Amino acid sequence: MTVSNHIQDAGEAIRIYRDKDVVEKGLYKTMTMKDLIKTMEKLRTQVIDGRRILFPLTKRQKEIFKAFDVQPPE
């Protein structure tokens, strides 16, 4: 898969596309890519009686979901 005409490495092309998307969403104004990933890594769930329960989202996690127009999990 080639995302760009001049980028041949798929991993590099995906990284460039991901970074471009984050810049377009305006998230680089308040956080780096590393911060964004660390923030989303903190999403936690617990399974109780077979039901998956999501811990409450932080303000930053909600901002990230909103920026990407993704409905947060329930």
Amino acid residing at 35: D
Strand partners of residue 45: 54
Contact 66, 55 (CB under 8 A): no
pLDDT for the residue 64:
84
Evaluated on CA atoms 48, 51, 52, 54, the torsion sign reads: negative
Give pLDDT tens digits along the chain (74 positions). 434 456 666 777 666 666 666 766 777 777 887 888 899 889 888 999 999 888 999 998 998 888 878 888 77
Contact 52, 45 (CB under 8 A): yes
